[in-house]
Amino acid sequence: RGRRLTLVQFDAAAQTARGLRDFAAQIERLRELAEVELASVHAAKLPPLTGLNGRRSLPYYLLLSTVGAAEPALLAAGIVKARVKIVYDPAVEPSPPQASSAPASSVPPPTAASASGEDAHFRVPVRLIESLLQAASEAVVARNELLLRSEELGDLSILGSARRLGQLVSRLQENLMRTRLQELNYVFQKIPRIIRDAAQVCGKRVAFEAEGGHVELDRTLLDSIAESLLHLIRNAVDHGIETPAERVRAGKNETGRLRISAALEGGHVALTIEDDGRGLDFERIRTRAVERGLVERERADLLSETELTELIFEPGFSTADRITETSGRGVGMDVVRERFRAAGGSIAVTSQRGRGSRITALLPQTLSITACLMVVCGKERYAIPRQHLVQLALLDPDRVQRLNDRRMYNLRGRMLPLISATALLYGDECAATERYLAVVRADRRNFALSLDDILNPEEAVIRPLSGRLSEVQLYAGGAIAGDGEPTLILDPAGVARLCGIEHQDFGAAFADEVQETAESSREYLLFTAGETLYAIDIAAAPRIFPINALDIQRSAQREVVRVRDDLVAVVRLDALFRSARTGGEIRHLLLFAWAGGTAGIAAEEALTVAAIGPVQTQAGVPGLAGRALWKDRLALVVEPLAAIRAALEEDFAWK
């Protein structure tokens, strides 16, 4: 871009700043004067806790992009005693080398990944990475088919080899997928300038906080939602944060607060944007919706705050009175939602008048391969993405009720809209075979989907649908199952839109999803093994399968049992956590997808699903999340996949 690239190294502890806050302010001041490409502690040069002169030392580095020399910007920001090295100067070199210019048949030389040169990266053409990822996807399909055929043969030695190969393929695929991941700092570092420009235009003061910039997301996904993310930031400054005078009248600090955070949750990235501004004006939204013909006046007066919030995602909706640089054009939130949906994610808004708003988005970390649950509807097989599943259960006809001409399901006192997947796909006359219930999440809504049968979980390779099929909103894409046959992936958000439950509010049945994730409202499956009570978050969607303890066999020094056509490794929590045993008989397995197959946690008695007391977290014990009380009885809270990994990965036969 014709800019100079400069590496700056200095001791952060030797600066004029009086503490971390002052030092952070210096770095932010520097961002206003130059583009900071990288900024971090210089880990390779970290000394012992105490330096040579008896003082603390914190080596730090910056990578700056400037039009001219970097020294004036450093001096203005108060950075002193710094070593400066020009990495690239456009006056000396015509242009920096580009990764895409390397021929496909050559292997470019390594380049230093850090100032120390201790770690090295290779520049690899993007098309080569894409080719490797495609090969990994095909290998996953072949692995699934091999595991299926091995289980059909029933030869434990062949099955053991197939499982070892399956684990290696999983590990290879996982590492290759990481080559496409990029830290969210790639977008986060652009936000301070966006906020500064928007605040200057609107005459506002905004303090920005960011957390979780180290979280990684697929570069393709990151590029697809980056502009939408920045649009949400501009919206928060323009519509959310008040002017200094308005904030003073409301008893607030003159400077508004805007915070963005990211966290990795079970293979998905959760993004949250919060502000402490005025919140949504629900009456204004109601009025504008009527003016634009989105809803009739009689209906508008009956809309709840939840339904009014959904209206801001309608095409062309805006509450701005005039067109400015940041708002009033009538495009925005509808496009944002569609882009997040196209990326396989969801977005929702919650707000409190006078206290601020919160935008919550959930995205898969990568799109190429996803964990799915294979189900049967109308004698055909379909896949449901794991990230949309909340709970699985047997369907009890006595719990089916009707409310406002809609079928509802009473799930432990909570009324959920009930949709028959078979009737939706094949007509009402085929719905009599529904036996199971899947509670799925679509955007901010949970609803129940009835199914004919539940098969096995699988890692599926996602294939986009082509032609007219891509316009059918019921499907998120296609997948290749373990037996090599194609399978359609159901899209819960599309089902909700098609069935008209996307914008409906069923009162207490739909509590705020953000609040629902609080620890106090989580529900756990409680079961016993030995003399110990255990709890597993039902969000992990365990399948409970009854077994006979006499059917458990030993293979490769591990206990296994056949569940339908699958050979399942048995994990005993009492052995893993060294808790007391009574010699009780195993009656159930809690089944989870693991290592390309299935593993089961042994349970003597499945007690109930209930909320438990606050979980006191405990670190250092793999698979143990903490402890909590249920009816004055101590329960160990288990992280199922971590527990299975800790129990089985010690033996290479199950890797």
Question: pLDDT tens digits for 391-411?
Answer: 788 888 888 888 767 788 887
- Rounded CA-CA distance 116/354 in Å is 50
Listed in sequence order, the residues at least 6 apart from 106 whose beta carbon sits closer than 8 Å to its beta carbon are none
Higher pLDDT, 245 or 642: 245
Mean local confidence (pLDDT), 609-624: 77
Does an H or E element contain 256, and which?
strand 256-265
- Rounded CA-CA distance 565/331 in Å is 52
Rounded to 5°, the CA angle 341-347-353 comes to 155
Write the DSSP assignment of 7-41 as a string of letters: EEEEEGGGSS-SSHHHHHHHHHHHHHHSEEEEEEE
Predicted local confidence at residue 113, as pLDDT: 40
Beta strands of 386-484 (E only): which ranges? 389-394, 400-403, 406-411, 414-420, 436-442, 445-451, 453-463, 475-480
Higher pLDDT, 651 or 38: 38
**329 pLDDT above the threshold of 60:** no
Mean local confidence (pLDDT), 371-385: 85
Q: Which of 112-126, 130-144, 185-199, 562-576 has the highest mean pLDDT?
A: 185-199
Least confident of 52-61, 307-316, 334-343: 52-61
* % of the chain at pLDDT higher than 90: 5
Mean local confidence (pLDDT), 486-513: 64
Cβ atoms of 274 and 347 within 8 Å: the answer is no
Residues 436-456 have pLDDT tens digits of: 888 887 766 788 888 888 887
**264 pLDDT above the threshold of 50:** yes
**In a 3-state reduction of DSSP, which class is residue 260?**
strand
Least confident of 302-306, 317-321, 637-641: 317-321
Q: Is the dihedral of CA 127, 133, 139, 144 positive or negative?
A: negative
Nearest to 622 by CA among 650, 596, 642: 642
- Rounded CA-CA distance 523/521 in Å is 6
**51 pLDDT above the threshold of 60:** no
User: DSSP code of 615?
Assistant: P
Q: What are phi and psi of 343, to 5 degrees?
A: -85, 5
**631 pLDDT above the threshold of 70:** yes
Question: Band of the pLDDT at 56, cuts 50, 70, 90?
Answer: low
- Rounded CA-CA distance 151/598 in Å is 12
Nearest to 270 by CA among 313, 350, 215: 215
Predicted local confidence at residue 583, as pLDDT: 60
**251 pLDDT above the threshold of 70:** yes
Question: Band of the pLDDT at 258, cuts 50, 70, 90?
Answer: very high
- Rounded CA-CA distance 348/312 in Å is 11
Mean local confidence (pLDDT), 137-150: 78
**564 pLDDT above the threshold of 90:** no
Question: Band of the pLDDT at 320, cuts 50, 70, 90?
Answer: low
Per-chain mean pLDDT for the chain? 77
Helix axes 191-202 and 219-235, enclosed angle (nearest 10): 20
